[in-house]
Amino acid sequence: MNLPRVYAFQTFFYSTLIQKGYGSVKRFTRRIDVFGYDIWIVPVHLTDHWCMAIVDVRNQRIEYYDSMLGQNRQVFEALSSYISAEMKDKKKKEINTYGWIQDRKQNIPIQQNGSDCGMFACKFAEYASRRAKIDFDQIHMPYFRKRMVWEIFQQRLM
């Protein structure tokens, strides 16, 4: 199985980028060449809701997954700016993200309660990391929660 190389950003990366700008997050990747990865997983925290952004570097795509189907143009602008700034800072090269595809996913599972957004975000990331077709729904969330607890305690994936 030929899986993509995946880099996962810290949970507070996006909110720091939005609130304080590139200068406050450039140190997050000081020892890492994020451009050596195929996919970047970017957790997006919106006050009381978790979403997920996926940057597909190889295919020049930014995807946004919100289990409540919210609009968030800012995520595309912020990540496009980050990509350009990171390339200039770390590689001393220019990159134009103008032609990159910006895809706000709409044909995705929708959460039916006010507490599963984090689990949806994690599953969107996990499926994207395998380039897998999303085939889960709200009904699977209790199982995914139990499975995640088991994986954390066992320190291995099922």
Q: Which of 51, 56, 116, 117 is catalytic?
A: 117
66 in catalytic set: yes
CA distance linking residue 83 with residue 35, whole number of Å: 9
Q: Tell me how crowded residue 63 is: count the other CB atoms within 10 A of its CB.
A: 21
Q: Are 110 and 69 in contact (CB under 8 A)?
A: yes
Q: Are 78 and 14 in contact (CB under 8 A)?
A: yes
45 in catalytic set: no
CA distance linking residue 27 with residue 32, whole number of Å: 10
Q: Which of 51, 56, 66, 116 is catalytic?
A: 66
CA distance linking residue 141 with residue 116, whole number of Å: 7
Q: Which of 49, 103, 122, 140 is catalytic?
A: 49
Report which of 38, 93, 86 is spatially closest to residue 60, judged by C-alpha positions: 38
Which value, to the nearest 10 degrees, does the dihedral of the CA atoms of residues 46, 97, 92, 54 take?
Answer: 40
49 in catalytic set: yes
Q: Which residues are known to be catalytic?
A: 49, 66, 117
